[in-house]
Amino acid sequence: MITLPSSTYVDARFQRLHAFAREILAICDELDIDPFIDGSVAVQAYAQDAAITIHDVDLNCSEADFPRLHAALISRGIRSEITTWHVLQARRDDLKVEFGATEFWMQDITPADDRLQFGDRTLSIVGLDDLRDLYRRGVEETRGLLEHRAKHEDCRRKLSLLDALSAD
């Protein structure tokens, strides 16, 4: 079982984000949607580095689940948008939980056998090697794009951290 560093839960913004993510995950439970986690939460969990900033929670599920998840979120007063780039975003104030379409973003990538303890929840998590591949793709996709410079640097830093974990 993988866990986030306990100091992660001390941060007030993360506490709000975590509570919002738990609310979204409860809706997923009601709809029998079993998302898996990747992104910064997964990087922080594997690296055990609480200094990694978590701006949002990145989950994955089938794009076929987006319409009913969107409707359920809206019915509960949660802002939700299905984007043209195969993503469903749930937002409240400055908080965001984002679902990537597994069929589009996670080709050849599956959850690891490991599970992530996310507060009181246990979630499937993308494997370390696959997470590294996702960040490598992110670095390649954003290379040289001025409007995505911050995203590129963030992906590059996280890829470097993940590469260092593999060398251990």
| 57-61: strand order across its sheet | 2-3, 111-118, 121-126, 36-38, 57-61, 95-101, 87-92, 79-82
Compute the average pLDDT of residues 104-132.
88
Domains of the chain: 2-127 (3.30.460.10)
- The predicted structure's pLDDT at residue 44: 95
pLDDT reading at 167 higher than 70: no
Candidates 100, 93, 4, 91; CA nearest to 54 is 4
**What's the mean per-residue pLDDT of the chain?**
91
pLDDT reading at 168 higher than 70: no
Residue-wise pLDDT for 20-39, tens only, equals 999 999 999 999 999 999 99
Poorest-pLDDT segment among 18-22, 41-45, 138-142: 138-142
Distances (CA, A) of 66 to 40, 74, 88, 122, 152: 22, 12, 7, 22, 27
Local confidence band at 14 (pLDDT 50, 70, 90 cut-offs): very high
pLDDT > 90 fraction of the chain, expressed in percent and rounded:
66
Residue-wise pLDDT for 56-110, tens only, equals 999 999 999 999 999 999 999 999 999 998 999 999 999 999 999 999 888 888 7
- The predicted structure's pLDDT at residue 45: 95
